[in-house]
Structure formats: structure tokens, C-alpha cells
């Protein structure tokens, strides 16, 4: 089992234990263990197999979880989880998420009606079976039908890019409230997580009621979930929730630090504070002995009060940030204006919407110095993939138009070449050897075994004409899981052969993910951040890739296409 599979087991254990009302410290141990395993930038199986290393010594693991990890690695399963799954069916947990229903009523419904899915529950409601049950009635039945859509939608996190659109619109709306003096977004959105479950907005206002009224008047509001003296929650669309919290000016920095999170980062911060005779919460920093306020107005003074720098929000996951701070080695994270080239884009020659010239002109407008045209190879026939003959014709066209762009943009002759199910490249070496830039990717046979897919990618890396592996895990966020691949073996091979790995900036991909990027950084493997644009508008997704890179701790020196073309070619040849 890989890290994500083991983390998923611990997450499910925590959820089932929480549902049954078990000891909260035990639940938290599994939650912390899941996060610790998922955030590792090396395979946990590798750590477990090393006689000089102790799983139990890893932060967030401990002796009990280490033993369970050993069991999972040895057998692929955990008896405790199987017992809990039998005791608490998945559908019961899903029903319990329906607003107003709860665990007890969900269990009773499951037992009485033998439901296997939320669709079964909806059918039972429409048939009047729920209303007929003792303790339910027609009002409860109607509440369930209203809540079903909310429960389904609320279980789905939206892309960061989608959340950013909401943030942009709401921010513009809130600017019209003169009573607000400070306004900042917090939560997982501010940390740049690839998906967002809800949004947290903090504000300081001279008139809190007026600020809430203005927030509630947002045109996208569907309903108000709750409103109190200092907090209001509204629902947008089907189920997306946005919270506005009003705080005092002297508390704003502490609240911003607290609600930005993550939970693990904040726990670490509080532990450091306690060691110094201080306590930190959302209201400020206080002395433990007399509860005197020490700081709170800004994040800078909150962190400074315990001898820490202000961490970039993207790093606040309790991975390496405290270690880096202690060593005075916090990375100078990459910025969007440091990108010089984009080396993955498609044109109307295959499944893109624009011509080579149109893509080139749009790249210049975005301040790029070089691009690679990388249409699909012939295996992707649904996208009009190019045969070797057609590809050579395209490269001839690129060579002919290059003089038009001299001094403004360098256009490389490239290709996104499929790695076939057999392991062979989709185009012969005689063609690939003429390219300026070759991406290799897996589009088909994604359900092959872990060994098969890994061998296919390793074969591509060993091919001297392949420069980079595109979207290396093949995932589509919220739509398709990553294919089974030994990414550690892929990274070792990439390191050995000098092959680049792509961070695909498309918000549906963001592939590699943040922990994979941290591993690549540790191994010194150069990353290339590309848009995979299929239109001139598609070139605009680069900021999402930058955000993901920052979460992985990447600096400009970790990303090859921050170099000018001469520097990039030098690194590529090396």
C-alpha cells in the first residue's frame, strides 16, 4: 500500500469512530496519523523497511499507529476497519450529513427501511415510507428531501480556481461597505489548497450589523444559514457556505492566523507559545501567568511574539516550515512573474481552439519569452492526434514563422507523445529526435496494474528523446483518481536520466500534487510548470500551478522554466 492508501484507512477509521461517539483523543490520533502519512514526501514503506529508522518516531504516528502501518504494509488490510465498516455502513454516515437528521435517526432509517444509498432514501421519501415511521412524520420527510441535495453537494469540495471566482465577486461586493476597515480571506482558500470546502472571511467594522447586512445583500446569496452578533453564514448555489466573522482591530491578526490554519500548524504554534509561558488563540497572544495581552493586531506581531517569522500561508501545514524557520532557511517561494516559458499547449491542429500564431501572440501578451507547441500524437485519435508526417509538416510551419517573432518570442517544435499500452512511444525515434521538446504522457490504459504503468513511464524516461513526463499521475480532481504508479521509482529514474517532471497548472489536474513536488525538490528533480492550454484563455491557468508549487515549497531555482531560454536549454542538456 502507498502513502495515500494508508492515510485513507486512517481517515475512514477516524470518521467511523467519530460517528460512534468514541474517545475524541483516539479519533484525533487517527486524523493526525492520516495527515502525517499523506504529507510524507517519501514512501512510508521505504521508512518501514529501513532498520535504522523508526516509524513510531515520526511526528503524528506513535507506537500504535506504527503497528497498524506495519499490518497494512504486510497484509493490505486492517481487521479493526473491517469490523467498523460492518457496524456502521457508509450510507448511514452519508444520511447523517443531511441537515437536521443526525446519526441516531440515520441509523434508525437504515435499520427500518434497509437503505443502501441516498437514492434509496429519496425513493422512500417519495413513497411516503419515511413519514410512516414512528418519530418521523411528513415534516421530517420533507426536511430530508430538501436536505438531500445539500448533503450531496456539501460533500464535494470545489476547485480552488472556482472558489477564487467567488472570492473575487464577494470581495468586490464587500468593498462597497464603508463601515469595514479591514477585510481578509482565511481558511484553506488562503493556504491555496487545490480544493475548498467553504470560505472564511474576516473583517473589522465600525458597525457590525451594517457589515452583516451588506454581506447578506450579496446577489449570489441563496439563503442565510445563521446570523449572530459576530458571525453570519450564507449559502451560495446549491450548498456552498461562506462565513463572515467580525473581530476587533486588536484581534484581527490573531484571528487571521488562527482561521488560516491548518489545524496541525496551529497546534504546533500553540505548543511553542506554551513553552514560552504564552498562549495563542483567535483573540491574541497572552501571558499565561496574568493573561496580559502581548500581541494580536497583525500576523507579524503574533508570530514575532513567539520568535517566529510570518510563514507564507501556503506553507502552514506543519510539514517543514518550523524546521526551516529554526534553521533560518525558509524558502523564497516562486512568484508568477518569474515564469519565462510555457512548454505544453495545443493548437487547432489537434484539439486546441487557436492557431500557432494566435497562441504565440497571446503568450507575448502574458510576458513569456518562449513556448513549445505540443499537440497530441496519433494515438489520441479522438483529438485528431498527429502522425509523424503531419507533425513534421507542423514543425516546418513553426520554422517558417519564427522570423516573425524574432526578438519577441522563441517557438519550440514540440509534441505530447503518448506512451502506448505496450510501453512503446507513439512516434518513432526518427521523428522524436528532430523535436526541440518532447513531453511523454499516459492517456490510455490507465487501469493497467501499478507495475505495468510504472514500467511504461520508466521506459519513456530512459528514452533519450523524452524531455519531460507530463501530468505524471493522470488524476482529474474530483473526477478521476490517479492511476496506480510507483512515483518514487519514477522520480529516481527522472533524477538518474535528467528528465523533467511537469506540474500541470490546469485546476482540474494540478499534477504533480504538493507532496509530490516536495519530494521532487528534495531529490533535486527540475519541475516545469505548464498550462496545457487548449486555447489562448487556457494560458491564464499558470497562477494555479504557481500556487501549487508554493505549497510544495518550490523556489524559482526548483522550476526550470523560470530560466531564460539559453539557461533552460543548458539545464535540459545537462
| pLDDT per residue as tens digits for the range 514-527 | 999 999 999 999 99
Length of the chain: 574
Q: Residue 223 forms beta bridges with which residues?
A: 235
Residues 6 or more apart whose CB falls under 8 angstroms from that of 201 comprise 170, 174, 183, 184, 185, 186, 215, 242, 243, 244, 245
Average pLDDT over residues 69-80: 91
| pLDDT per residue as tens digits for the range 166-177 | 999 999 999 999
**Count of CA atoms in the C-beta half-sphere (13 A) of 359:** 32
Which pLDDT score, from 0 to 100, does residue 150 have?
65
| pLDDT per residue as tens digits for the range 373-406 | 999 999 998 889 999 999 999 999 999 999 999 9
Region of 501 (left: φ > 0; alpha: ψ -120 to 50; beta: rest) is beta
| Cα dihedral: 84, 86, 88, 90 (round 10) | 110
Rounded Cα–Cα distance for residues 374 and 217 (Å): 47
Question: Comparing C-alpha atoms, which of 398, 343, 351 is closest to residue 376?
Answer: 351
Is pLDDT larger for residue 159 or for residue 28? Answer: 159
Give 413's pLDDT tier (boundaries 50, 70, 90). Answer: very high
Q: What is the crossing angle of helices 118-126 and 137-154, to 10°? A: 150
Is pLDDT larger for residue 477 or for residue 149? Answer: 477
The 3-state DSSP class for residue 275 equals helix
Q: Residue 120 forms beta bridges with which residues?
A: none
| pLDDT per residue as tens digits for the range 222-271 | 899 999 999 999 999 867 899 999 999 999 999 999 999 899 999 999 99
| Vertex 119 angle, CA 125 and 152, to 5° | 105
Residue 151 has pLDDT above 70, yes or no: no
Residue 411 has pLDDT above 70, yes or no: yes
Is pLDDT larger for residue 85 or for residue 433? Answer: 433
Residue ranges of domains in the chain, CATH in brackets: 3-87 (1.10.150.110), 90-154 (1.10.150.20), 158-246 (3.30.460.10), 251-326 (3.30.210.10), 336-573 (3.20.20.140)
Average pLDDT over residues 292-301: 97
Residue 82 has pLDDT above 90, yes or no: no
Which pLDDT score, from 0 to 100, does residue 421 have?
96
Which pLDDT score, from 0 to 100, does residue 153 have?
59
Average pLDDT over residues 319-335: 95
Give 107's pLDDT tier (boundaries 50, 70, 90). Answer: confident
Question: By percentage, how much of the chain surpasses pLDDT 90?
Answer: 74
Residue 152 has pLDDT above 70, yes or no: no
| Vertex 193 angle, CA 171 and 477, to 5° | 110
Instruction: Give the three cell numbers for residue 301.
Output: 506581531
Which pLDDT score, from 0 to 100, does residue 87 have?
79
Residue 360 has pLDDT above 60, yes or no: yes
Residue 552 has pLDDT above 60, yes or no: yes
Cell 504516528 maps to which residue? 61
Is pLDDT larger for residue 528 or for residue 27? Answer: 528
Residue 165 has pLDDT above 80, yes or no: yes
Name the average pLDDT for the chain: 93
**C-beta of residue 95 within 8 angstroms of C-beta of residue 130:** no
| Phi, psi (rounded to 5 degrees) for 185 | -85, 145
Give 18's pLDDT tier (boundaries 50, 70, 90). Answer: confident
Rounded Cα–Cα distance for residues 461 and 441 (Å): 11
Average pLDDT over residues 183-209: 97
Which pLDDT score, from 0 to 100, does residue 229 have?
95
Give 154's pLDDT tier (boundaries 50, 70, 90). Answer: low
Give 273's pLDDT tier (boundaries 50, 70, 90). Answer: very high
Residue 457 has pLDDT above 70, yes or no: yes
Average pLDDT over residues 113-127: 90
Q: What is the DSSP letter of 214?
A: H
| pLDDT per residue as tens digits for the range 125-136 | 999 999 999 889
Question: Comparing C-alpha atoms, which of 248, 265, 277 is closest to residue 314?
Answer: 265
Amino acid at each position: 500500500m502507498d502513502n495515500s492508501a494508508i492515510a485513507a484507512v486512517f481517515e475512514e477509521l477516524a470518521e467511523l469512530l467519530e460517528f460512534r461517539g468514541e474517545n475524541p483523543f483516539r479519533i484525533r490520533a487517527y486524523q493526525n496519523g492520516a495527515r502525517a502519512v499523506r504529507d510524507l514526501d517519501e514512501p512510508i514503506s521505504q521508512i518501514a523497511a529501513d532498520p535504522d529508522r523508526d516509524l513510531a518516531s515520526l511526528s503524528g504516528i506513535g507506537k500504535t499507529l506504527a503497528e497498524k502501518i506495519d499490518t497494512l504494509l504486510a497484509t493490505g488490510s486492517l481487521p479493526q476497519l473491517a469490523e467498523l465498516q460492518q457496524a456502521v455502513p457508509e450510507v448511514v454516515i452519508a444520511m447523517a450529513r443531511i441537515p437536521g437528521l443526525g446519526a441516531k435517526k440515520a441509523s434508525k432509517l437504515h435499520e427500518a427501511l434497509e437503505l443502501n444509498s441516498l437514492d434509496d432514501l429519496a425513493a422512500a421519501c417519495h413513497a411516503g415510507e419515511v413519514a410512516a415511521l414512528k418519530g418521523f412524520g411528513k415534516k421530517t420527510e420533507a426536511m430530508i428531501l430538501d436536505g438531500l441535495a445539500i448533503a450531496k453537494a456539501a460533500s464535494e469540495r470545489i476547485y480552488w480556481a472556482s472558489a477564487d471566482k467567488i472570492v473575487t465577486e464577494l470581495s468586490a461586493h464587500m468593498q462597497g461597505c464603508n463601515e469595514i476597515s479591514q477585510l481578509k480571506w482565511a481558511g484553506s482558500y488562503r493556504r491555496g489548497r487545490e480544493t475548498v470546502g467553504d470560505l472564511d472571511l474576516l473583517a473589522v467594522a465600525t458597525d457590525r450589523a451594517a457589515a452583516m447586512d451588506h454581506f447578506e445583500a450579496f446577489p449570489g446569496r441563496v439563503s442565510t444559514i445563521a446570523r449572530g452578533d459576530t458571525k453570519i453564514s450564507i449559502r451560495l448555489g446549491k450548498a456552498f457556505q461562506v462565513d463572515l466573522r467580525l473581530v476587533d482591530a486588536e484581534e484581527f491578526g490573531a484571528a487571521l492566523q488562527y482561521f488560516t490554519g491548518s489545524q496541525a500548524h496551529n497546534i504546533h504554534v500553540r505548543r511553542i507559545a506554551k513553552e514560552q509561558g504564552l498562549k495563542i488563540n483567535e483573540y491574541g497572544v497572552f501571558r499565561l501567568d496574568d493573561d496580559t495581552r502581548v500581541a494580536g493586531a497583525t500576523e507579524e506581531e503574533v508570530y514575532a511574539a513567539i520568535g517566529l517569522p510570518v510563514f507564507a500561508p501556503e506553507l502552514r501545514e506543519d510539514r517543514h516550515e518550523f524546521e526551516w524557520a529554526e534553521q533560518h532557511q525558509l524558502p523564497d517561494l516562486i512568484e508568477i512573474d518569474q515564469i519565462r516559458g510555457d512548454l505544453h499547449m495545443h493548437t487547432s491542429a489537434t484539439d486546441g481552439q487557436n492557431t500557432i500564431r494566435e497562441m504565440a501572440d497571446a503568450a507575448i501578451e502574458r510576458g513569456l519569452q518562449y513556448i513549445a507547441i505540443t499537440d497530441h500524437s496519433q494515438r489520441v485519435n479522438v483529438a485528431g492526434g498527429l502522425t509523424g508526417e503531419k507533425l513534421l509538416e507542423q514543425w516546418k510551419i513553426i520554422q517558417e514563422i519564427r522570423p516573425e517573432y524574432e526578438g519577441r518570442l522563441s517557438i519550440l517544435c514540440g509534441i505530447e507523445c503518448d506512451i502506448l499500452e505496450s510501453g512503446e512511444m507513439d512516434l518513432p525515434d526518427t521523428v522524436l529526435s528532430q523535436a526541440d521538446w518532447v513531453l511523454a504522457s499516459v492517456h490510455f490504459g490507465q487501469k493497467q496494474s501499478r507495475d505495468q504503468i510504472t514500467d511504461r513511464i520508466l521506459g519513456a524516461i530512459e528514452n533519450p528523446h523524452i524531455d519531460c513526463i507530463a501530468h505524471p499521475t493522470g488524476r482529474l480532481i474530483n473526477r478521476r483518481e490517479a492511476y496506480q504508479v510507483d512515483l518514487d521509482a519514477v522520480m529516481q529514474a527522472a533524477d538518474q536520466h535528467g528528465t523533467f517532471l511537469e506540474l500541470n497548472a490546469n485546476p482540474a489536474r494540478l499534477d504533480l500534487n504538493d507532496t509530490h513536488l516536495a519530494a521532487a525538490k528534495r531529490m533535486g528533480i527540475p519541475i516545469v510548470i505548464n498550462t496545457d492550454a487548449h486555447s489562448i484563455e487556457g494560458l491564464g491557468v499558470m497562477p494555479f500551478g504557481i500556487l501549487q508549487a508554493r505549497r510544495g515549497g518550490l523556489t524559482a531555482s526548483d522550476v526550470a522554466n523560470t530560466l531564460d531560454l539559453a539557461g533552460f536549454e543548458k539545464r535540459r542538456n545537462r
